[in-house]
Structure 1
Amino acid sequence: MKRLLLRILKYFLPALFISYVGLVSLFVHSHVVNGVTIVHSHPFNKDVEHTHSSAEFQLINHLSQIWVTGAIVLSLLVTPLLLFFLELLPDARLQVIVSSRLTGIQLRAPPSYSL
């Protein structure tokens, strides 16, 4: 039973994530409420005018809080390619060369923070 559940979740959870990201990013529209423009995303019919209550706006706001960065997308694309090439070259070794003698000023990039 546990194996069956894991097999189902293996396909269901990525499909759920992909559909969620698609819904949040594909159906963006805005409403003006009391002079404030509220931009949110959910499936809707463009031909029919619709409104939301304040509770619905709060729920949509909480459900729409997702941050997908380019690094995540890049890692999802690059990781399968790396695994594929490692399968083609099973004897390939990763070599790291470290200098035993550090000379001069060793600088590093400044820390960064992104919202």
Structure 2
Amino acid sequence: MRKRLKNIGALLLLVLFAGYWSCVTLFPHVHRIDGLLYVHSHPYSGPAGNPTHSHSAQQFQLIAHLSLLVMALATLAALVRRPEERTFLFGPFRPARRSFAPMRSCPLRAPPCL
């Protein structure tokens, strides 16, 4: 039962990511208001350069706050995890030690290249 719930959760996250990716990729557009450019994306019908809809100042403020909230939550989620789980890409750093090979004491170097 636990594995089934885990699979359903993974599928829901995949669908959520696919929806977000398609919305960001397929529907970006620009609004020009008072000489400022506002770029955002959401499903709509119309050209990207000159959208046929408009937003109020409160809607633009809501878009900015939601973007900030999502980034803050993502950063907090990455920092709250336990340090041993925070491997990200390469995993924890462990210095290499070779106890089977003695250290050389004489400074040898390769011949110069011509």
TM-score range for the pair, normalised by the shorter chain length? 0.3 to 0.5
Q: Of the two, which has the highest radius of gyration? A: 2
TM-score of the aligned structures, taking structure 2 as reference length = 0.48
